[in-house]
Structure 1
Amino acid sequence: MVEFIANYKSLLIYVTLVILSVFILRFLTKFFIKWLIKKETNRLSDAPVRSMKMVKMTLNLLWLVLGVIALSAVFVDRDKDKLLVGYFKTASYIGIVTVVTIITATLCNLWFKHRIDQKITDDFDPTTYKFLRYVSVFVICFIGLLFGLMAFPSLKSVAQTALGGAGVLALIAGVASQEALSNLVGGLFIVLFKPFKIGDVIKITDTMVGTVTDITLRHTVIRNFENKMIVIPNAVINKEKLINYDLGELKCCEHVELGITYDSNIELAKKILQEECENHPLIYDNRTELEKKDGLPIVKTALTKFNDSSITIRAWAWSSSFGHSFTLKCDVYESAKKRFDEEGVGLAFPTRTIYMANANNPENK
């Protein structure tokens, strides 16, 4: 044993130093990241803990890989030393590029997040900043990937071409699907031309109505009135005809319609519906000065349709916003029903009259 130690003393010292170095580096990484997370958490409520943990995992993996490569030098021939040095440099390069990419993307994301919060605090539209945050983080990660590919000789020319300028777009177009590109272009069109922005209430179909909460590179997120999140690809939403209740004037005209029976008093039904609308606290007076001078009512009512078993009367009730119009409509339905019951106006429901041929014929009994 003594002879073995004497013969391989230098190698044993080398192995011990490598293993000790790996453990020390992993310990220092753990200590530094833990200290950094604690410091940033005390300073910022939204500290990027997840990103710091990713940096920790990357560095720990890097130290382990470098340690294995360094230990491999003990078991391979000396003519392989140059190859091991190449592996060591490649692993170090990829590890450094990964850490730098994660840190840069995190700092960029934090900067945009603070700008978005500032815009919201100052009551400005944060849509552009939210979209640019996704674009910036994607570009940083994509460039980091290209730099990482440069570590491999077979892919170095491709990465250099892509980093050259126009090659970036060509490479994206080559590897991305047509649908993904359509969604990306659709997101850019939404941000540039602003048919809607974050916070707007939009209606695409009867089942897709809600508030826009986010616009990403791929899709737009809408929170409906049931608090469910609807995810719509940007390429799809750009092709649809939609209603933006917050674009331009916010006031909204709601059609409050009720079906009454044919034997009901039409004038009384119109009067009740008009009064219930005008007495509601959310009603909006949309009359012009001339209409006010002429004494025209705030809410216009009219008979609009003859149905199979009912007559439809409609009130044009204005409110200051789409949300108020929905509340007004629901309240008026309830109060008008009570008034109709009190005044003897019948609300129609589907009925059918059946005539029996030769009903009095004894042979049919």
Structure 2
Amino acid sequence: MTEFFVTYKSQLIHTLIVLGTVVILYFATNILHKWLRKKEENIFSNAPIRPFNIIKRILNILWLVLGLIALGLIYVDSDKSGVLINSFKLASYLGVVAIITIIAATICNMWFKYKIQEKIALQYDPTSFKFLRYVAVFTICFVGFLFGLLAFPSLKGVAQTALGGAGIIAIIAGVSSQEALSNLVGGVFIISFKPFRIGDIVKITDTMVGTVTDITLRHTIIRNFENKMIVIPNAIMNKEKLINYNLGELKCCERIEIGISYDSDIDLAKKIMREECENHPLIYDNRTDMDRKDNKPIVRTALTQLNDSSMTIRAWAWARNYSDSFALRCDVLESVKKRFDKEGIEIPFPYRTIVMKKEKTTEK
């Protein structure tokens, strides 16, 4: 046993030094992580936790990998140590690039979040900052990935070409037919021309109506009135014909239609619909000064259609915004139905006439 320790004394000492260094670095990383988390909570209460946890895991894995490589250098022959040295450099390079990329992306993301909160507090439109946040974070991660490729000789040429301006343009041109790029370009067009912004109420189809909550590199997120999140690719948002209830004037005209029977009094039905609309607290007076001087009613009613078994009466009721117009429509339909029942105005429903044909039987 004594001869073994004497023979391998230097190797054992180096092994203990490597193991001790790895253990010290492991505990130092954990202590530093806890300290940075406390500082972050004191300065930025809403800062993300995940990047710090990822950095801690990368460092702990890096210390373990470097420690194993260092142990291998102790016990392998000198002619094979070159491979381990190259592996040591590769692992160190990739670890440093990954950590720098994560730190840069996190700082960029936190800065944009701070600017977005500042815009919201000042009641400015934060849409551009929200979109640029995704662009900036994606760019940092993409550049970090390319620098990581530089460590591999077979991929070094691709990374160097992509890091050049012409290389990036060539890559974009190469994937220009793909859907991912069309969504990205669609997002840029949405931010540039602003057909809608975050917080606007938009209607794409009868089943897709809601408030725009976010615009990312790939898609737009709409929260409908059932509190469900609708994710629509930006390329589709650019192609669809949508209604933006917050673009321009907010006031909204709600067309309320009810069918009455041919036996009902048209004038009475129009009067009831006008009164119920005008008495609603959410009604908006959209008359001009000339209309008020001529004593024109706030709500216009008219007979708009003669159907097979009913006549359609329409009321044009204005509200301050889309939400008020929807509530106005629901309340007026209910109140008009009750008034029609009280005044004897019939709302027709389908009739079916059944003719029973009696067959004659002949006796033989």
TM-score by length of 2: 0.96
Q: Tell me what 1:76 maps to.
A: 76
SS in 1 for 2:241: coil
Provide the C-alpha distance between the structure 1 equivalents of 2:45 and 2:342, rounded to a whole number of angstroms: 58
The alpha-carbon deviation at position 306 of structure 1 amounts to 1.5
Provide the C-alpha distance between the structure 1 equivalents of 2:168 and 2:33, rounded to a whole number of angstroms: 34
Structure 1 gap segments, 5+ residues each: none
Provide the C-alpha distance between the structure 1 equivalents of 2:83 and 2:171, rounded to a whole number of angstroms: 31
Provide the C-alpha distance between the structure 2 equivalents of 1:176 and 1:28, rounded to a whole number of angstroms: 47
Q: CA RMSD, aligned part only? A: 1.6
Q: Tell me what 2:93 maps to.
A: 93
The alpha-carbon deviation at position 82 of structure 1 amounts to 2.3
Q: Tell me what 2:210 maps to.
A: 210
The alpha-carbon deviation at position 16 of structure 1 amounts to 0.8
The alpha-carbon deviation at position 177 of structure 1 amounts to 6.3
Counterpart residue identity of residue 88, structure 1: F
Q: Tell me what 1:138 maps to.
A: 138
The alpha-carbon deviation at position 165 of structure 1 amounts to 1.4
Deviation by residue 1:99-124 (Cα, 9 ceiling, x = unmatched): 00000000000000011111111111
The alpha-carbon deviation at position 172 of structure 1 amounts to 4.4
Distance change >3 Å, CA 115–CA 177, structure 1 → 2: same
Deviation by residue 1:271-292 (Cα, 9 ceiling, x = unmatched): 0000000111111111111111
Q: Tell me what 2:344 maps to.
A: 344
Provide the C-alpha distance between the structure 1 equivalents of 2:92 and 2:190, rounded to a whole number of angstroms: 42
SS in 1 for 2:128: helix
Provide the C-alpha distance between the structure 2 equivalents of 1:23 and 1:165, rounded to a whole number of angstroms: 44
Alignment check: 8 A CA contact 1:309 1:351 kept: no
Counterpart residue identity of residue 88, structure 2: F
Q: Tell me what 1:297 maps to.
A: 297
Provide the C-alpha distance between the structure 1 equivalents of 2:351 and 2:280, rounded to a whole number of angstroms: 32
Distance change >3 Å, CA 3–CA 176, structure 1 → 2: farther
Matched, 1:24 2:24: yes
The alpha-carbon deviation at position 47 of structure 1 amounts to 2.1
Alignment check: 8 A CA contact 1:37 1:47 kept: no
The alpha-carbon deviation at position 12 of structure 1 amounts to 0.2
Alignment check: 8 A CA contact 1:250 1:322 kept: yes
Q: Tell me what 1:53 maps to.
A: 53
The alpha-carbon deviation at position 175 of structure 1 amounts to 5.9
Alignment check: 8 A CA contact 1:173 1:181 kept: no
Alignment check: 8 A CA contact 1:277 1:299 kept: yes
Deviation by residue 1:158-193 (Cα, 9 ceiling, x = unmatched): 111111112123234446861001000000000000
Alignment check: 8 A CA contact 1:33 1:52 kept: yes
Counterpart residue identity of residue 289, structure 1: D
Provide the C-alpha distance between the structure 1 equivalents of 2:188 and 2:78, rounded to a whole number of angstroms: 56
Counterpart residue identity of residue 292, structure 1: R
Q: Tell me what 1:225 maps to.
A: 225
Counterpart residue identity of residue 280, structure 2: H
State the aligned residue count. 362
Alignment check: 8 A CA contact 1:196 1:247 kept: yes
Q: Tell me what 1:114 maps to.
A: 114
Q: Tell me what 2:195 maps to.
A: 195
Distance change >3 Å, CA 155–CA 217, structure 1 → 2: same
SS in 2 for 1:348: coil
Alignment check: 8 A CA contact 1:286 1:318 kept: yes
Deviation by residue 1:227-247 (Cα, 9 ceiling, x = unmatched): 000000001111110000000
Alignment check: 8 A CA contact 1:26 1:60 kept: yes
Provide the C-alpha distance between the structure 2 equivalents of 1:28 and 1:112, rounded to a whole number of angstroms: 31
Q: Tell me what 1:259 maps to.
A: 259
Alignment check: 8 A CA contact 2:175 2:181 kept: no
Provide the C-alpha distance between the structure 2 equivalents of 1:234 and 1:213, rounded to a whole number of angstroms: 14
Provide the C-alpha distance between the structure 2 equivalents of 1:296 and 1:253, rounded to a whole number of angstroms: 17
Provide the C-alpha distance between the structure 2 equivalents of 1:173 and 1:97, rounded to a whole number of angstroms: 27
SS in 2 for 1:212: strand
Distance change >3 Å, CA 354–CA 340, structure 1 → 2: same
Q: Tell me what 1:178 maps to.
A: 178
Provide the C-alpha distance between the structure 1 equivalents of 2:248 and 2:354, rounded to a whole number of angstroms: 53
Q: Tell me what 1:271 maps to.
A: 271
Q: Tell me what 2:148 maps to.
A: 148
Q: Tell me what 1:324 maps to.
A: 324
Provide the C-alpha distance between the structure 1 equivalents of 2:133 and 2:169, rounded to a whole number of angstroms: 19
Deviation by residue 1:11-53 (Cα, 9 ceiling, x = unmatched): 0000111111111101100110011112212332212211000
Counterpart residue identity of residue 343, structure 1: E
Provide the C-alpha distance between the structure 2 equivalents of 1:9 and 1:281, rounded to a whole number of angstroms: 93
Provide the C-alpha distance between the structure 2 equivalents of 1:242 and 1:273, rounded to a whole number of angstroms: 30
Alignment check: 8 A CA contact 1:135 1:217 kept: yes
Counterpart residue identity of residue 13, structure 2: I
Provide the C-alpha distance between the structure 1 equivalents of 2:171 and 2:11, rounded to a whole number of angstroms: 48
Provide the C-alpha distance between the structure 2 equivalents of 1:166 and 1:216, rounded to a whole number of angstroms: 26
Alignment check: 8 A CA contact 1:285 1:318 kept: yes
Counterpart residue identity of residue 20, structure 2: L
Counterpart residue identity of residue 83, structure 2: L
Counterpart residue identity of residue 222, structure 1: I
Between 1:306-315 and 1:122-131, the stretch displaced more is 306-315
Counterpart residue identity of residue 128, structure 1: S
Deviation by residue 1:302-359 (Cα, 9 ceiling, x = unmatched): 11112222211000000010110000000101111111111111112222334556x7
Alignment check: 8 A CA contact 2:176 2:182 kept: no
Provide the C-alpha distance between the structure 1 equivalents of 2:286 and 2:48, rounded to a whole number of angstroms: 50
